[in-house]
Amino acid sequence: MKLGDPFMTEMNTSPNDYTKPSQTGGNQTETVDEATSFHPVHLSDDHGDPHEKEENMQELMRNINEESSRLSEFLATENKLMLEICTSLAQVLKKLNTSFNIPSRDLPLQENVRKVTLDKEGHLKLFYEKGEVDSAFLAEYSPEIVMAVLWVVMPELTQAIALQRKKVSKRISLFEAMKKELKNVVKTIVGASEENKRLQTGTQSDTLNDSSGKKS
């Protein structure tokens, strides 16, 4: 064969004479291709039956209206009960002539409240660190505050009623002793007075009899 023969030229060509693509370069190309490749999102043209969606929305609105109506009834009942409870509590406090100090940490209040009291009129007073004071009937506060106050006051109210009962019991014992002694005094004084009156009545009767006998 001649050196210029194309077959020989191909056969004599060394494998090292071929330029191989860089391994790193190939990976970069693949990465770029993946990063820049576009994956289209196929959106369904079927958005559901409009009539069905409208019915679902109407059903949802009916449920909202029903729940709102029930919530309104519950809130009205809650406010009524709070007013009745706080009014009765105020009457008891006024009768006992007592008030309570309530730890501010036990109430859902602002941190700058220094002191809290429930007076005998049933008003909750908030004393702030800067000297300001807020006062309102207990039932006018939020249900959370009213409930927290009741949790603190009711046990103390039980003790206050028990203490008042003991005081009244002591007064009753004193009144009963005084009543007994006064009865004895009355018996002594009235008894002597009645005896004197009886004696005076008897003397007058005898005098009249004597006078009648002499005339006859």
163-209 per-position pLDDT tens digit? 999 999 999 999 999 999 998 888 888 776 766 676 667 665 555 55
Whole-number pLDDT of residue 138? 96
- What is the per-residue pLDDT for 209? 58
Q: Which residues pair with 123 in a beta bridge?
A: 137
How many domains does the structure of the chain reveal?
Answer: 1
What stretch of H or E contains 133?
Answer: strand 133-137
**Is residue 80 included in any domain, yes or no?**
yes
Decide: residue 156, CB within 10 A, 0-12 exposed, 13-18 middle, 19+ buried: middle
Angstrom distance (rounded) from CA 95 to CA 161: 10
Q: What is the pLDDT of residue 13?
A: 41
Quote the pLDDT of residue 205: 59
Q: Is 185 within the bounds of a domain?
A: no
Please, which contacts does 162-170 make with residues 24 or more away whose CB atoms are closer than 8 Å? 164/96
Tell me what pLDDT residue 165 has.
94
Q: What pLDDT is stored for residue 14 in this prediction?
A: 41
Dihedral sign for Cα atoms in the order 87, 92, 96, 100: negative
Task: Provide the phi-psi class of 131: left if phi over 0, else alpha when psi is between -120 and 50, else beta.
Answer: left
Which pLDDT score, from 0 to 100, does residue 46 have?
A: 53
Task: Provide the whole-model pTM.
Answer: 0.60
Its domain, for residue 153, covers 72-177
Per-residue pLDDT of the chain (216 residues; tens, 9 = 90+): 433 444 343 434 443 443 434 444 444 444 444 544 545 545 455 566 888 888 899 999 999 999 999 999 999 999 999 999 999 999 999 999 999 999 988 898 877 899 999 999 999 999 998 889 999 999 999 999 999 999 999 999 999 999 999 999 999 999 999 999 998 888 888 776 766 676 667 665 555 555 555 555
User: In angstroms, rounded to a whole number, what is the distance separating the alpha carbons of residues 202 and 106?
Assistant: 81
Q: Is residue 142 part of a domain?
A: yes
